Each structure stands twice: as structure tokens, then as C-alpha cells.
Structure 1
Amino acid sequence: MHYPQYFIYIYFTKMRSMKKILLFTSYCILMLTSSVNSQTNMNVLGAWGKEENNTKTLVIITDYIFSVASYNLVEKKFNYTWGGKYRIDKENMELSYEWHSQDTAMVNLSASIPIAIKKDGQLSLGNILSGLTRLDGGKAGDLFGSWIISGNYTNDTVSKRANPFFPRRTMKIISGKYFQWVSYNVVTKKFFDAGGGTQTTQNGKYTENIEYFTKTTQSIGKSLSFGYSIIDGD
């Protein structure tokens, strides 16, 4: 019996041969490819967050992607998400917006945002975000990175998108203990859906615990588990 399979490759790659991560359940298989390229000496990689009045702000920073999400844990309400490619230049984060659920006019624009880790260890981004506490140890966990769907494999047939990054993208962003996925169109600037929460990688099993989900609140609080293994090759 053949099950639907989905191949997922990292959003940015600079090497043709690299490690791949194979995720699988009883109904699907996910293949992910990763290339690590750290950009800065400032140790900001990983998940950061804060909670106020049952509202959680979650920031995930990988080597190339900066992502923000806000949601109410008690009311199971999604507030917003925005993010995109970034680089750090001295004391500023140069952000190129790829998605913005509240203001699509921001998509494809760039902004220079002051970024700093305060003496108390909290992360601050100008007057946009402050008081963010580190939630994990950065690159802890096997699946750290930013991943994007590039095609599918069904009934022994591979079907790849001509350009998997354009115009619609579905990206999964994983830190040591948290994850977010987001779907958007970089041409129409339309935001489609997002979800996220905590995750663990233990003994060959990847488990997601969903804290917010824009498609349906019925999925919030549920867990999804995948087996995973790391392989080498193209």
C-alpha cells in the first residue's frame, strides 16, 4: 500500500549535498534538508517569548528566518503573525517581510529594527517587542531550521514545483522546543493560515503540541507525533 508523501526542503540552501531529515507517520512521509549558516555573533537563535493576560507572544529565530506570533491560550484565539528573512548588522536587525497577517502592505518591504539582549538576558527589538525571555537553548534538538514544501510524491511518482519558493510558500519554522508553520503568497501578499506551539524530539520521535491554529480551534491542545531519522545525501 502506498501512502501520500510530502518532500520538504530547507528554505535557503548553499550546498547540493547535505543532511536530510525523514519524518513519517502511518499516512505521510516528510523529507527535510538543512544547511546551517550562522550570520552573527549575537546569540539570538532559538525561541523567545512572554505571556501577559493569557496572551502569549512567541518569537522563533533560525539562521535565516525571523517569525513572530501572538495568541490567547485561554480563549484559543489567534491574534497575528509576521516575519521573513533577516540579517543582523551590528545592533540592528534588517528584516525583509515575507508575511504579515495584520497588514499585507508590509509584505516585500524592509525595516531596520534595533535588536539587543539586555543585562537581564531578555531580548528587545526597538519599540516593537521587549521583555522576551529565552524559551530554549537555541539549536537544541535535531530539527532546528526553516523548511518549505517543494513538491510531493504519490504512487511512486515525484511531482516537484517548478519554483517551490514562489509565489505561494508553506513554511515550517522549528527551534529547540517550539515550532510554527505559516502559509502565504509573496506576489498577492495574501496570508493564508498559521499554527504553532511546543515540540520535542526524543528517541526518534518528533511530537508537536498545538497551542494555536488558524484553520480550526478544535486542533488546539492536541498532539501530533512523527517518527524521524537523519540521513545523508542529495
Structure 2
Amino acid sequence: MKYLLILFLFVGFIANGQSLKGAWQNIEAGKTTTIIATDTYLTVNIYELESKKFIESWGGKYTLGVTNEAFMEIEFHSQNPAVVNSSQSYNINLKKKSLEFNDKKFQKLDFAKENALSGLWRITARANETGEMSEMKPGPRKTLKIMAGGYFQWFAINTQTREFSGTGGGRYTLVNGKYTEKIEFFSRDNNRVGAELSFDASVNGKAWTHTGKSSKGDPIKEIWTLQD
């Protein structure tokens, strides 16, 4: 009977439409904390938008419990690699437009509706200098991009060595096949913050073809594959 009750509560939680999917934000004392979440993966990013200072980024796979908890398998952490590959739980209080996550209050951002780019993506091929596509084999070293609620973030990590190589993110739009990023945080070079970059985007099934030019003017062609 106990297990049936737990199952009933869990199904009821899902049936009520409770989901962290989207983008959530908290701004306190000049620090912005942005959560970007799909149905199964979330990232937490802390930065100072005005001073262009990157502070912290971490994330991983998650599930929602039946008693106001989120359970996470941490895949990366920019400041504390010791927690990578550990299981953590966080107190949450989720409402339609507000969220308390680990005792911090967030508001849901209505910057954009979900679209063809929504989800968690992994880069699986990239054009080399001659334009030939080079496939990237699956492994612990990977670059992922999470897209939800009009916010994006890419992050390069290695789950085996716990290495964090870099990240960047901010707002994005997708209009008539044109994908535009407006960068709000960048771990490697804060001079990138505020920049807008536009690319052509084509989604065919679980494959996203990303073409255009980098901030340095170099041609880019990448294939990203949907993970969830």
C-alpha cells in the first residue's frame, strides 16, 4: 500500500503539469542566477551582467521527487569539480510562474516559447578547414548545448576527468530558420558579453545543422544531435 501511495503521488505530480522546463531567473545584489531546464537536464549559472563577470556554472540530469525535491546527478561544476558524478538533492517549491530552488526564489522567464531548438543537444560533427565534416565519437569528453525558454547555454566538459573547459550563454531567438544569440555570460572571455551572433539553423528529426560565421569571422558548420 505504501508503494502504491508513492506511485499515486508521483503520477499526480506529473499530471498536474509540474515541470522545471524553461528558463528561471533570480537577480540579487547585482548577481544574476539563471536556471535553464529541459524535462531531464538543468544548468545553474551565476554571473554579473553589468560588469560582465562570470562566477559559476554547474548542472546535470535531474528528476523531481514527490515531496518538493529535485534529485540531480552532477555532470559538471566550474568551481567545484569534486561534486561531479555525485548525487545531490535540492529543496524546491514549484508554482506556475515562480520557483524556490535551494532556498533561492526565481521567476519564470517568458522570453520565448518552446521551438524546434528546445532541448539538450550534443555536438556530433564539425567541418574542418577544407569544409569536410569530421565526426565526433561519443565519450566522456563532450560539448552540450541546452535550449529552453528563450535561453541557451553551451558547455564543454569531461565527466570522466571532471574537467570543465568553458561555457557561454544568454538569450536566443529562432525566426524563419535564422538563429540569433545574445551573450549574457562567457567564462573564457568576458568581452564576448553583449555580442549578438546570427546563424542559419535547420532541424531535421534529431539533427540540427548550424552554419554561419564565428565572432572572429571564421566559417562554421556543425551538426548537433538531440539528447532528450
Q: TM-score, normalised by structure 2?
A: 0.76
* Contact preservation (8 Å) 2:167, 2:186: yes
Q: Give distance in 2, aligned partners of 1:214 and 1:118.
A: 31
Q: Give distance in 2, aligned partners of 1:103 and 1:232.
A: 36
CA deviation after TM superposition for structure 1 residue 140, in Å: 2.0
Counterpart check, 1:56 vs 2:29: no
Q: Which amino acid aligns with 2:196?
A: S
Q: Give distance in 2, aligned partners of 1:49 and 1:71.
A: 11
TM-superposition CA deviations, 1:125-174 (whole Å, max 9, x none): 233xx2100013785232111111123344575432332xx221111111
Q: Following superposition of structure 1 onto structure 2, how do residues 77-156 of structure 1 map, counting pairs within 5 Å?
A: 77-90=53-66, 91-118=68-95, 121-127=97-103, 130-136=104-110, 140-154=114-128, 155=130
Which one of the candidate residues 161, 165, 169 is aligned to 2:142?
A: 169
Counterpart check, 1:159 vs 2:151: no
CA deviation after TM superposition for structure 1 residue 223, in Å: 0.5
Percent sequence identity is 37
SS at match of 1:56: strand
Q: How many residues align?
A: 191
Q: Give distance in 2, aligned partners of 1:201 and 1:189.
A: 33
Give every structure 1 segment of 4 or more consecutive aligned residues whose post-TM-superposition deviation is greater than 3 Å. 153-159
Q: Give distance in 1, aligned partners of 2:54 and 2:109.
A: 20
CA deviation after TM superposition for structure 1 residue 123, in Å: 0.4
CA deviation after TM superposition for structure 1 residue 219, in Å: 1.1
- Cα pair distance change 1:156/1:190, threshold 3 Å: closer
* Contact preservation (8 Å) 1:113, 1:125: yes
* Contact preservation (8 Å) 1:46, 1:138: no
Structure-2 residue corresponding to 1:66? 42
* Contact preservation (8 Å) 1:211, 1:221: yes
TM-superposition CA deviations, 1:65-87 (whole Å, max 9, x none): 11000000111100001100111
TM-superposition CA deviations, 1:77-116 (whole Å, max 9, x none): 0000110011112232110000011111000000122222
Q: Which amino acid aligns with 2:136?
A: R
CA deviation after TM superposition for structure 1 residue 203, in Å: 2.1
Q: Give distance in 2, aligned partners of 1:138 and 1:204.
A: 15
Q: Which amino acid aligns with 1:209?
A: K
Structure-2 residue corresponding to 1:230? 203
Q: Give distance in 2, aligned partners of 1:162 and 1:169.
A: 9
Unpaired runs of at least 5, structure 1: 1-38
* Contact preservation (8 Å) 2:64, 2:70: yes
Specify which structure has the higher proportion of helix: 2
- Cα pair distance change 1:79/1:46, threshold 3 Å: same
- Cα pair distance change 1:138/1:177, threshold 3 Å: closer
Which one of the candidate residues 163, 179, 185 is aligned to 1:190?
A: 163
Q: TM-score, normalised by structure 1?
A: 0.74
Higher relative contact order (CA 8 A, sep 6+): 1
- Cα pair distance change 1:162/1:137, threshold 3 Å: same
Which one of the candidate residues 209, 213, 219 is aligned to 2:182?
A: 209
CA deviation after TM superposition for structure 1 residue 183, in Å: 1.0
Q: Which amino acid aligns with 1:108?
A: N
